[in-house]
């Protein structure tokens, strides 16, 4: 069984409140992009006593047993007959980058196990399992452009507002702790919902659609702010940091000329 977990960007990210369960309420638009990992598993022949995970590609800096894919397998096995598996994960989406790579890997594993072993679990059940693994994990069960509220698990599809646009992802290879980003953000209620704002032309988003984590990230790492400035300088109609960072994306209405200083850090260039 093979799958290709995709990345996402956040169009706007507002932290709207602190919850009693320790999480935060947010409002954002999750939007899928073409950058993806590759995930494959087989049921080994013969007797095996444990799962085996091999990770290639980008070094994500975590032990295999701590990987979300392995946590997903253990979670599924609590309630469903899942044999020991031999798993290969090839990483093209960096971790701690605001692109949801780990959550996407886990969601794809949940769906692949459901299909491979004919568990017949419906989408609601799959998303419930996914939420135990990460707040943005349910989005990747059915990754269509969606407004996300609550922890990020309350999803409402929106139109493909960026169809036909070009996107560039720039990652400066800086790891930003999501926990620290939330701890340094002051929640506030936005005056207008993102659901309204994204109906405007993307060229009007610059002064209206914000990522609340940018102030913290830019103070800590000014080079991230410079990437955003460079993308606007290259003609982006909109640019933002994604999630809690550190990846910055630029939306272009035609194929862009990427500045030389950014080419070293370019993760992905393509159409939406």
- Which entry of 8, 75, 111, 228 is annotated as an active-site residue? 8
Which pair of structure tokens corresponds to residue 122? 């419906």
Contacts of 230 (CB under 8 A, 6+ apart): 259, 261, 262
**CA–CA separation, 230 and 262 (whole Å):** 8
Length of the chain: 272
Which pair of structure tokens corresponds to residue 180? 């620290």
Kindly give the pairing relationship between strand 52-57 and strand 38-42: unpaired
Write phi, then psi, for 253 (nearest 5 degrees): -90, -5
DSSP H helices, the chain, are 68-77, 101-116, 123-131, 178-183, 194-197, 214-220, 222-233, 260-263
* Cβ neighbour number for residue 24 with a 10 Å cutoff: 19
Q: Is 136 a catalytic residue?
A: yes
Are 209 and 202 in contact, with CB atoms under 8 Å apart? Answer: no
First to last CA, the chain: 27
Write phi, then psi, for 216 (nearest 5 degrees): -65, -50
Are 149 and 25 in contact, with CB atoms under 8 Å apart? Answer: yes
Distance of CA 88 to the CA centre of its chain: 20
- Which entry of 37, 105, 136, 212 is annotated as an active-site residue? 136
Q: Which of 77, 88, 145 is nearest to 114 (CA)?
A: 77
Contacts of 260 (CB under 8 A, 6+ apart): none
Active site residues: 8, 136
């Amino acid at each position: 069984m093979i799958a290709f977990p995709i990345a996402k960007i956040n169009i706007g990210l507002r932290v709207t409140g602190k919850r009693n369960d320790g999480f935060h309420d947010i409002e954002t638009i999750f939007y899928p992009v073409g950058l993806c990992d590759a995930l494959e598993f087989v049921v080994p022949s013969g007797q095996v006593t444990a799962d085996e995970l091999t990770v290639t590609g980008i070094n994500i800096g975590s032990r295999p047993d701590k990987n979300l894919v392995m946590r997903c397998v253990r979670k599924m096995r609590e309630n469903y007959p899942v044999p020991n598996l031999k798993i290969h994960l090839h990483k093209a989406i960096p971790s701690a980058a605001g692109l949801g790579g780990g959550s996407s890997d886990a969601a794809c594993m949940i769906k692949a196990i459901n299909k491979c072993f004919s568990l017949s679990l419906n989408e609601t059940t799959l998303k419930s399992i996914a939420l135990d693994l990460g707040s943005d994990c349910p989005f990747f069960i059915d990754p269509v452009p969606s407004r996300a509220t609550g922890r990020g698990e309350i999803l409402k599809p929106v139109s493909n507002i960026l169809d036909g646009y070009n996107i560039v992802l720039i990652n400066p290879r800086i790891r930003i702790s999501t926990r620290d980003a939330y701890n340094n953000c002051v929640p506030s209620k936005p005056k207008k919902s993102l659901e309204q704002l994204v109906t405007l032309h993307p060229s009007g988003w610059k002064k209206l659609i914000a990522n609340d984590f940018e102030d913290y990230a830019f103070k800590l790492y000014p080079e991230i702010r410079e990437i955003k400035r460079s993308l606007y300088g290259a003609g982006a109609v909109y640019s933002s940091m994604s999630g809690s960072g550190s990846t910055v994306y630029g939306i272009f209405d035609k194929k862009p000329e990427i500045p030389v200083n950014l080419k070293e850090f370019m993760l992905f260039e393509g159409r939406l």
